[in-house]
Amino acid sequence: MSANAICGYAGKILRVDLTNERITEEVWDEATLRKWVGGVGFGAKVLYEEVPPGVRWNDPANRLIVASGPFGGTMVGGSANISFSTKGCLTNGATSTQANGFMGAFMKSSGADAVIFEGIAGRWVYLYIHDGTAELRDARHLLGKNTWETEDEIKAELGYADRQMSVFCIGPAGENLVKYAGIFGDKDHCAGHNGIGAVMGVKKLKAFCAPLGRTPVKVAAPKKLLPSIEAIWRDVQKDPGGKRIFDFGTAGSYETGEQRVAAGTLPVKNYLTNLYPEARLMTCQYVRERWSATPKPCWACGSHHCHMITITDGPYKGLKVEEPEYEMFAAWGPLVGNTDPAETLVISNLLTLLGLEGNEAGFITSMVIELYEKGVLTKEDTGGLELKWGNIGAMRTLLERITRREGAFADMLAEGIRHAAETLGEEAKNCAVYTMKGHAPRGHDHRAFWREMFDTATSDVGTYSSSYLGPPDPDTHSLKDRFSPEEVSTHIAKTKGRRQFEDALGVCSFCVRAPMRFLLEAFNSITGWDFTVKEAQDVGLRVANLMRAFNLRHGVGADLETPSPRWGSTPVDGPAKGISIAPHWDAMLDTYYRLMGWDRQTGKPLPETLRALELDSVVADLWRDTKV
């Protein structure tokens, strides 16, 4: 630990210049730490200050910031989360995406709060963080290895057993710059959005790793921390949504599956229908009861969420795979017309091994299946693949080809859904599900889930970025009518900041679905600070506004804040039949921009909004030619 380290922090940020293979250390002062806290806060600050307009995602000047936060490595449940920030390749705009596992705790106990990668290496390398320092090592022998092989080889090479070291890496998809490659770690965790794995790939950074180090994180008031951890856990289990994840993971129980059907939020056959009677098969309860399940919790986490599954019957008997998250059950079950859960498990695990993000891959696959079924695409176009609903074998081959960019069709699909839709023509543009900023949404039928559709379409980080669905919290807005345009847009504005603050702490969001005051009791016990709810919300809003300013300066503007035609279409069947968000969209933007303090025409944060968040320097950047 740095001599002047502040409680909750290792006290050091590593800057890795890949071009010159040079590593330097930085110490940030207390005022800077209070302003940005950690995680996505660090990421937003570095991204905005160091990546000017004109720098593209694949430019050496792009940064990749990997950061824990003050919770990282403490006994708060799930406190090994890390946040990744960069300029991503699907939107060519700001990105923030998180992963759990062990890295946040191990990196801090090895002496670093964050790592900033810059430049492009002259050879493939990986970063080994240990004992308060770090070194770049040759990674050429790891090229072409899948994510599990890479992790195992690095641990063997450095002499660490499983769970003594955390490794995050890219698979072949990241090496080949597939624009929805993710970063995978600790075997079943993924930071996936906006092509972050391709950013690692273009930098020729195959992996980074850290062992459980010798320096525990210093907590200011350990005796006070324990009751707040207990209070957070009590609330996680009190809330039905939190309890569902606690008991069965994100895909939940049979009841959860039925609730999704009743709500109309399962994405079925590229949104052509909303009916899927087999929903209970695509749940954790089903796979855990049918096959052999082994818990695989992250650092300090007591939840029954992450599991490994050994398939004990059928053609995949004996195969051990990770239990998919809900989004992978959705993408490789209903979305592509598959009803066999064994196939879902196998293809979902294949995505992890190849290093592909599954939401984008799922919506691309469902789009090309619809086009194939309609005769718009033929076998000649698909390289001989019979891309029909439920034909998982053909889908697996397609994903492998995309990963290798093998053939013109797969190479084009490797560029992402917006590019594919625009290349394939009008039919494709009309049936593809994507944000106009350039990425697929998460795996839901958002036509019955307006909150997340509106949030995702207006987000500045390449995935959704708002909302709070935990137990009642007097300090956080709650949503009562999911189809009320006014309520939904108000909810997204009023909860903005909460998620960003969580993502700055270095903790799994499933483990802190609790009122803000409990989070702050833990936060203040760890850091010794005296944060109020307002100060915490301001940190989150500062991050959200800075990411927005970054995007606006980089050409990702408010004109892109609408859904694609299919994404914003009206369901033809199911519980949301005939209900449409489209007529309300402009009015929702009116409400949202007004509450956020943003200009309605340009989407720019107003000068007074920026000044209130201590972002005075951004006023000049955004409003240079306007008298303010």
d(CA 30, CA 53): 29
For residue 510, state whether it binds ligand SF4 (rule: CB under 6 A).
Answer: yes
Q: In the bound complex, what is the minimum distance in angstroms from residue 582's beta carbon to ligand SF4?
A: 35
Residues 6+ apart with CB under 8 A from 237: 243, 246
Select from 185, 205, 188, 128 the least CA-distant residue to 160. Answer: 128
d(CA 537, CA 501): 7
Q: Contact region for ligand SF4 (CB under 6 A) — 300-308, 369-377, 476-484, 516-524?
A: 300-308
* Residues 524/71, Cβ–Cβ less than 8 Å: no
* Residues 601/623, Cβ–Cβ less than 8 Å: no
Axis-axis angle for helices 222-238, 516-527 (nearest 10): 160
Select from 113, 94, 98, 99 the least CA-distant residue to 42. Answer: 113
For residue 298, state whether it binds ligand SF4 (rule: CB under 6 A).
Answer: yes
Which residue number, 363 or 510, has a Cβ lying nearer to ligand SF4? 510
Cα–Cα distance list, 392 to 32, 270, 315, 316, 360 (Å): 50, 15, 14, 14, 17
User: Which residue has its beta carbon closest to ligand SF4?
Assistant: 78
Axis-axis angle for helices 358-373, 417-424 (nearest 10): 20
For residue 382, state whether it binds ligand SF4 (rule: CB under 6 A).
Answer: no
Show the site string, 23-62: x = touches ligand SF4 by CB under 6 A, - = not. Answer: ----------------------------------------
Q: In the bound complex, what is the minimum distance in angstroms from residue 12's beta carbon to ligand SF4?
A: 25
Q: In the bound complex, what is the minimum distance in angstroms from residue 611's beta carbon to ligand SF4?
A: 37
Residue with tokens 């949104």: 271
d(CA 435, CA 457): 6
The torsion angle over the Cα atoms of residues 43, 48, 49 and 53, rounded to 10 degrees, is: 140
Tokens of 440: 């697929």
**HEC profile of 21-72:** CEEEEECCCHHHHHHHCCHHHHHHHHHHHHCCCCCCCCCCCCEEEEECCCCC
For residue 190, state whether it binds ligand SF4 (rule: CB under 6 A).
Answer: no
Q: Is 313 exposed, middle or buried (0-12, 13-18, 19+ CB in 10 A)?
A: exposed
For residue 328, state whether it binds ligand SF4 (rule: CB under 6 A).
Answer: no
d(CA 430, CA 421): 8
Q: Which of 13, 301, 516, 589 binds ligand SF4 (CB under 6 A)?
A: 301
Which residue number, 105 or 576, has a Cβ lying nearer to ligand SF4? 105
Q: In the bound complex, what is the minimum distance in angstroms from residue 111's beta carbon to ligand SF4?
A: 23
* Residues 470/504, Cβ–Cβ less than 8 Å: no
Handedness of CA 471, 477, 480, 485 (dihedral sign): negative
Q: Contact region for ligand SF4 (CB under 6 A) — 401-409, 507-515, 519-527, 581-589?
A: 507-515
Q: Contact region for ligand SF4 (CB under 6 A) — 298-306, 334-342, 433-441, 557-565?
A: 298-306
Which residue number, 443 or 571, has a Cβ lying nearer to ligand SF4? 443
Q: Which of 41, 73, 78, 355 binds ligand SF4 (CB under 6 A)?
A: 78
Q: Contact region for ligand SF4 (CB under 6 A) — 309-317, 503-511, 552-560, 575-583?
A: 503-511
Tokens of 129: 């963080």
Q: 3-state class of 185 per DSSP? A: strand
For residue 470, state whether it binds ligand SF4 (rule: CB under 6 A).
Answer: no
Residues 6+ apart with CB under 8 A from 626: none
Which residue number, 53 or 295, has a Cβ lying nearer to ligand SF4? 295
Q: In the bound complex, what is the minimum distance in angstroms from residue 511's beta carbon to ligand SF4?
A: 5
Neighbours of 154 (CB within 10 A): 23
Q: Which of 508, 519, 536, 589 binds ligand SF4 (CB under 6 A)?
A: 508
Which residue number, 83 or 176, has a Cβ lying nearer to ligand SF4? 83
Tokens of 11: 């006290």
Q: In the bound complex, what is the minimum distance in angstroms from residue 358's beta carbon to ligand SF4?
A: 16
Q: In the bound complex, what is the minimum distance in angstroms from residue 510's beta carbon to ligand SF4?
A: 4
Residue 115 phi, psi dihedral angles, 5° rounding: -130, 130
Cα–Cα distance list, 586 to 468, 601, 602 (Å): 23, 11, 14
Q: Contact region for ligand SF4 (CB under 6 A) — 378-386, 419-427, 443-451, 508-516?
A: 508-516
Q: Contact region for ligand SF4 (CB under 6 A) — 1-9, 55-63, 177-185, 294-302?
A: 294-302
For residue 305, state whether it binds ligand SF4 (rule: CB under 6 A).
Answer: yes
End-to-end alpha-carbon separation of the chain, Å? 45
Q: Contact region for ligand SF4 (CB under 6 A) — 190-198, 303-311, 314-322, 512-520?
A: 303-311
Q: In the bound complex, what is the minimum distance in angstroms from residue 64's beta carbon to ligand SF4?
A: 22
Handedness of CA 620, 457, 82, 146 (dihedral sign): negative
Tokens of 528: 């010794």
For residue 506, state whether it binds ligand SF4 (rule: CB under 6 A).
Answer: no
Which residue number, 9 or 233, has a Cβ lying nearer to ligand SF4? 233
Q: Contact region for ligand SF4 (CB under 6 A) — 137-145, 437-445, 506-514, 594-602?
A: 506-514
Q: Contact region for ligand SF4 (CB under 6 A) — 172-180, 226-234, 297-305, 361-369?
A: 297-305
For residue 514, state whether it binds ligand SF4 (rule: CB under 6 A).
Answer: no
For residue 511, state whether it binds ligand SF4 (rule: CB under 6 A).
Answer: yes
For residue 105, state whether it binds ligand SF4 (rule: CB under 6 A).
Answer: no
**HEC profile of 262-312:** HHCCCCEHHHCECCCCCHHHCCHHHHHHHCEEEECCCCCCCCCCCEEEECC
User: Chain-centre distance of CA 68, in angstroms?
Assistant: 15
Q: In the bound complex, what is the minimum distance in angstroms from residue 600's beta carbon to ligand SF4?
A: 38
Q: Contact region for ligand SF4 (CB under 6 A) — 168-176, 296-304, 331-339, 596-604?
A: 296-304
Residue with tokens 């919790």: 297
d(CA 329, CA 311): 16
Q: In the bound complex, what is the minimum distance in angstroms from residue 160's beta carbon to ligand SF4?
A: 20
Number of H helices and number of E strands within the chain?
25, 15
Residue with tokens 């009751």: 227
Q: In the bound complex, what is the minimum distance in angstroms from residue 234's beta carbon to ligand SF4?
A: 16
Which residue number, 77 or 605, has a Cβ lying nearer to ligand SF4? 77
Interface with ligand SF4 (CB under 6 A), residue total: 11
Which residue number, 175 or 188, has a Cβ lying nearer to ligand SF4? 188
Which residue number, 61 or 231, has a Cβ lying nearer to ligand SF4? 231
For residue 303, state whether it binds ligand SF4 (rule: CB under 6 A).
Answer: yes
Which residue number, 352 or 382, has a Cβ lying nearer to ligand SF4? 352
d(CA 605, CA 611): 10
Which residue number, 103 or 169, has a Cβ lying nearer to ligand SF4? 103
Which residue number, 181 or 298, has a Cβ lying nearer to ligand SF4? 298
Which residues sit at the interface with ligand SF4, rule CB under 6 A?
Answer: 78, 100, 297-298, 301, 303, 305-306, 508, 510-511
